[in-house]
Structure 1
């Protein structure tokens, strides 16, 4: 079994001292890791892009207007012109299934009990959830940007000290998530969310076996990018107490 893990242990009450970034050469963009209070301008640019993208498909109703309250980290893809062309945010670690948006998505759909159990069974080992992922569909690099945004699993797990990452996504985007080691929860029935046009599924990344499921090229990029992002412990070893009052 392949065990390509990075032995970084970080307190869960993490507050970054500065943005972390790495150049994603395949997508021709810079992946920037930040927090809403650390870089409010970048956070708002990410949110604006998410609203524009979700509005194109009529699903902007799924966006959370109070997203900054529970966002522990967010990732922005910034192109060579300095424009945010994609991103995602991370919430958690979850205290229970009720902290996850998945219970909202499966409400009224088959499988809600199984969704709750699957999350609660993993909570003791550390679970975070990826939300509000998007890539600018007007960019000719859209597919590669989305693939780059699928790669930060090791970074998230290392910074937040968790074993599991969970996300929900429409079936047509799951291949990009799978490329970085995500495994679809096959026993969970699809949910018609946010409406009947979509078939939403649940996908998990498990730090112990992630490398066994990732595409080799994606895994190589994931490891290289994580090492670059975490190269300076002084940038991410600060506690929330030490940086209280920063930003907003």
Structure 2
């Protein structure tokens, strides 16, 4: 049974039984919702607002085109963490599955660079087994659980990749965030030179999650992925 979600007077998420899947992150105490933008447009708008605010904080709001994303048609799934008081405090979105490198927004910064051909080849080698891209990860900077929320977003890449039925998750990471993504099993694509993206302040590399081999993930993250996947399986079967 699906009950439509709505928002309260302060734009908090209301309606725990809204469309999509859900699980509890025991480390942050947040409930996590995973759905398509069409299943919950109000929640999608809250994700976009949080992402734009996060990008704006770092002065890179030009890297997210909210008007282009607003109708949700380019996004396959999105994930948000909802605090017990109903506030949306973190999120990410996923696109795909993709058939070519040129369909992947995160591939674009390598166009015309020394790493373009190698990264294109890397994507094309994985496409037969399925590739989805995760983008727009964010969490509330002022939240005292910021480390837990960062880990939640990193695990979220694994979950949305799995839910989309593909083996490989693709993303890009500035070097200062790489350890967070590595914690959930991400590996930098070897031999691909870094680029300055979204601007010259950041050194950014392409990363992959291989769902057939998450041995690079920390033990804590692997355990939480297993617990949360079990919840997703149960939610998907009801």
Same fold (TM over 0.5): yes
**Deviation at 1:156?**
2.5
Instruction: Give the whole-Å Cα distance in 1 for the aligned partners of 2:222 and 2:204.
Output: 25
Which residue of the other structure, out of 191, 195, 201, is the alignment partner of 2:195? 191
Instruction: Give the whole-Å Cα distance in 1 for the aligned partners of 2:77 and 2:119.
Output: 24
Aligned to 1:177: 181
**Deviation at 1:234?**
4.3
Runs (5+) with no aligned partner, structure 1: 1-16, 236-248
Report if the CA contact (8 A) 2:79-2:93 is conserved: yes
Give the aligned CA root-mean-square deviation in angstroms.
Answer: 1.5
Cα shift readout 1:208-229 (whole Å, capped 9, x = no counterpart) = 111x111111100001001101
- 1:101 matches 2:105: yes
SS at match of 1:130: strand
Report if the CA contact (8 A) 1:127-1:165 is conserved: yes
TM-score (norm 1): 0.84
**Deviation at 1:92?**
0.3
- 1:215 matches 2:218: yes
SS at match of 2:19: coil
TM-score (norm 2): 0.87
Q: Matched residue pairs, number?
A: 218
Equivalences for residues 97-246 of structure 1 within 5 A: 97-210=101-214, 212-234=215-237
SS at match of 2:79: strand
Cα shift readout 1:14-51 (whole Å, capped 9, x = no counterpart) = xxx92211111212211111110000011000100111
Runs (5+) with no aligned partner, structure 2: 1-17
Instruction: Give the whole-Å Cα distance in 2 for the aligned partners of 1:119 and 1:73.
Output: 21
Report if the CA contact (8 A) 1:102-1:115 is conserved: no
Cα shift readout 1:157-208 (whole Å, capped 9, x = no counterpart) = 4322111001001111111110111111131111101111000111111121
Determine which structure has greater relative contact order: mean sequence separation of CA pairs < 8 Å that are 6+ residues apart, divided by chain length.
1
Instruction: Give the whole-Å Cα distance in 1 for the aligned partners of 2:149 and 2:202.
Output: 22
